[in-house]
Amino acid sequence: MATVPADFEASSDAELITAVRRGSPSAYGSLYQRHVGAAYNLARQLTGSSAEADDLVSEAFAKVLDTLRGGRGPESAFRAYLLTVLRHAAYDKARRDRRVELSDDIESVSGTAAAQPFADPALEGLERSLAAQAFARLPERWQAVLWHTEVEGQPAAEVAPLLGLTPNGVAALAYRAREGLRRAYLQVHLAETTDSRCRATAERLGAWTRSGLARRERAQVEAHLDECARCRALAAELADVNGAMRGFVAPLVLGAGTLGYIAATGGAEGGVAAAATAAAAAGAAASGAAGSAGGAGAGSGTSLGGAGGTFGGGGTAAGSGAGG
């Protein structure tokens, strides 16, 4: 692990972010040391050379610094925000490189249209998934612990200093965050469901996944699941929060680099397989239209699309019921 300056060694990422906003360059140096390895990991997946990876990492850290100094950006989930900015920068570079091939005459006629960001249909589709919508509703502190523990598979002892908690505190926070994600899944599903039988089943799926239903209720839920593919899919996602995180949320941050990044981090077991389908879709979109829908990323103050929290949607700053 990289060495963190002694004066900030015991500080959480949230405390370091606050210090950066107050003008401390040393605090940003600490954030750099903690997260530069992850940034290089993703940059190597998205570029063809070490030099290009160096440039991407430098650009991403510079953009995030400007964002924090401007009072925007994350409150605690620094790594996922940084990686999202890096992925945007990689796609923007690919778009610029292709535009260089245009002749001056063509650019003079169609420069306005060429300057528009490319749509990324695969990532747009992922943003509409239940997993992404549910994740975006979580408080940022919950988003951060889920990213580090479920996507990257980091042990609680390694995550603890980033969140300013003990390892036991990380484990407890991760448990609450997983339960919160399941509840958010159900809320999103119920908002889109009009069938009365599906609604009745969805309202009991949380208890069903924890084996908390009486025998009669369990039989009713399982009878409906036998005949309803949509509710079966929801039940499967509720039962495997880890897989849903890696399969639908990780590609929104990592884009075409998802598979390589998770493999290189030695993430949670089964992570590569869980992310394969969604990452392949994101990679296809990146190859065909290597711009991200969000443009430069850092300038907007959001990460996973939308507006409001670090990851977009309804995510809030650290706290907001997330607990410490």
With 0-12 / 13-18 / 19 or more C-beta atoms within 10 angstroms meaning exposed / middle / buried, residue 264 is middle
Cα–Cα dist 318/38, whole Å? 22
Report how far apart, in Å, the C-alpha atoms of 126 and of each of 131, 146, 244, 297, 303 are: 8, 18, 11, 17, 14
Nearest to 299 by CA among 52, 62, 95: 62
For residue 316, the model assigns a pLDDT of: 36
Inter-residue contact 58 to 43 (CB < 8 Å): no
Residue 125 confidence (pLDDT) = 52
Asked if residue 12 lies in contact with residue 164, where contact means CB atoms within 8 angstroms, the answer is: yes
Q: What is the phi/psi pair of residue 115, to 5°?
A: -80, -10
Q: Tell me the CB-side half-sphere exposure of residue 121, using CA atoms within 13 A.
A: 5
CB 152 within 8 A of CB 165: no
pLDDT digits (tens), the chain, 324 positions: 455 555 777 899 999 999 999 999 999 999 999 999 999 999 999 998 999 999 999 999 999 999 999 999 999 999 999 999 999 999 998 888 775 555 444 444 444 433 334 344 444 555 567 788 889 999 999 999 999 999 999 999 999 999 999 999 999 999 999 999 988 988 888 888 888 899 999 889 888 988 889 999 999 999 999 999 989 988 887 888 777 788 888 988 998 899 999 998 875 444 444 445 444 544 444 444 333 333 333 333 334 443 334 444 333 333 333 445
Are 10 and 161 contacting, i.e. CB atoms less than 8 angstroms apart? yes
Residue 67's φ and ψ, nearest 5 degrees, are -65, -45
Q: How close are the terminal C-alpha atoms of the chain, in Å?
A: 24
15 contacts: CB under 8 Å, gap ≥ 6: 8, 164
pLDDT value, residue 87 = 94
Hunting for tokens 């950066």 — which residue is that? 20
- Scanning the chain, the segments in alpha helix (DSSP H) are 13-21, 25-46, 50-69, 78-99, 104-114, 121-127, 130-136, 140-146, 156-163, 167-191, 196-209, 215-227, 229-239, 241-244, 250-254, 258-265, 271-288
Query: How many CB atoms within 10 Å of residue 199?
Result: 13
